[in-house]
Amino acid sequence: MADAKIIDGKAFAAGLRARVADGVAALKASHGVTPGLAVVLVGEDPASQVYVKSKERALVELGMNSFDHHEAADMAEADLLALIDRLNADPAVHGILVQLPLPKHIDTQKILARIAPEKDADGFHVVNAGLLATGQPGAIVPCTPLGSLLLIRDTLGHDLKGKRALVLGRSNIVGKPMAHLLLQADCTVTLAHSRTVDLAEECRRADILVAAVGRPEMVRGDWIKPGATVIDVGINRVPAADPAAGPGKTRLVGDVAFAEAVKVAGAITPVPGGVGPMTIACLMLNTLAAACRAAGAPIPAEAAL
C-alpha cells in the first residue's frame, strides 16, 4: 500500500489565517470594529512565554488588537479576578485568553468561570462546553479540537456521517470537545483513555483516529485501520534518536509512531507541522467570530458549527 497522504496543517493554517485577515478587514469596513483579544499571562513559565508571544504576533499580523497583560507569578487570585472583570466590561476586548497552567495558588476553574462566556476565546468556560455538549449553536469551540475537525473535513470532505471515530485522551481541552464535535458531525464516537481495555483493538476499528494523550509514539502502526485518517495532537520532546546529534539534543514527536503509521493510514498529520499551527489560527478565528457576534455581523463559516 502507498504511504499515507501527509496532512499539511501548516499550509491549511496559513490559508485560514488569510481568511481571518480578510474577515477582520471586512468587519472594520462594515461595522468600524477591530477585533481585540486580551492575553493574560501570570508568571514566567518559558513554554507559556513562547506561546503567548506567537499569539500576540499573530493578532497583529491579522490586523487585530492584542491587549497584553503579563503579571507577576505571585499575583493574588483576587487581583486576577478583578482584571478579568475589567476585561469583561471593556467593549474593545472581544476575546479573553488566560494562559494555562496558572500558578498553584490560583484556582484555575474559578478563573475560567469568571470570563464572560461570549468572550471566552479558548472555549473553556462551562457554558461553552455545555453548548457544545448539548449540540446548541453559538458555542465557542476550543481551538485544538476545532483545528483538528477542520483538517479532518479538508481530508475527508464535510460529510463525516457514520464514520467510526476514536478519540484517545479525555482532557477538557482536547479529548472531550473533540468527541462532541465528531458526534455532532454524526460519527460513531469512542472516547478512549488510560483505563480503556484492549486499546489497540479499539483503535483498529476507527476510520478517524485522534490521538491526544501526551505519550510519545504510543499509537503504533498496527493499531491503525488501513486507510484511516490519523490526527496526532501530541507534541512531546524526547531525546534525539541519532547519537551523532550529541548529548542533550532533543526532537519533537507526536502520540503516534509516525514512521510506522504513515505506511498504514490513508492520511496523517505530521509533528511538527500538523495540528500545532492550527491551534493559533483557530484562536484568531474564535476572536474574529466573537467580535462579529458582538457587532451583530455574520459569523465566519468555519467558526459557525
Binding-site residues for NADP(+) sit at 169-171, 235
**Cell digits of residue 25:** 478587514
Cα(159)–Cα(206) distance, rounded to whole angstroms? Answer: 16
Strands 208-211 and 164-168: parallel
Backbone phi, psi, residue 119, to 5°: -110, 10
Angle at CA of residue 80, ends 79 and 84, nearest 5°:
115
70 DSSP assignment: E
Query: What letter represents residue 12's amino acid?
Result: F
Kindly state the smallest distance separating residue 31's Cβ from ligand GUN, in Å. Answer: 27
Distance of CA 164 to the CA centre of its chain: 21
Kindly state the smallest distance separating residue 283's Cβ from ligand GUN, in Å. Answer: 7
Closer to ligand GUN by Cβ: residue 122 or 302? 122
- By Cβ distance, which residue is nearest to ligand GUN? 100
Query: What letter represents residue 117's amino acid?
Result: P
Active-site annotation, residues = 55, 99, 122
Kindly state the smallest distance separating residue 108's Cβ from ligand GUN, in Å. Answer: 10
Kindly state the smallest distance separating residue 10's Cβ from ligand GUN, in Å. Answer: 18
Cα(70)–Cα(196) distance, rounded to whole angstroms? Answer: 40
How many separate helices (H) and strands (E) can be counted in the chain? 10, 11
Q: Are 91 and 58 in contact (CB under 8 A)?
A: no
Backbone phi, psi, residue 236, to 5°: -120, 135
Cα(145)–Cα(184) distance, rounded to whole angstroms? Answer: 13
The full length of the chain comes to 305
Closer to ligand GUN by Cβ: residue 5 or 53? 53
Kindly state the smallest distance separating residue 35's Cβ from ligand GUN, in Å. Answer: 18
48-61 burial, b for 16+ CB within 10 Å, e for fewer?
A: beebbeebbebbee
Site for ligand GUN, rule CB under 6 A: 97-100, 122, 143
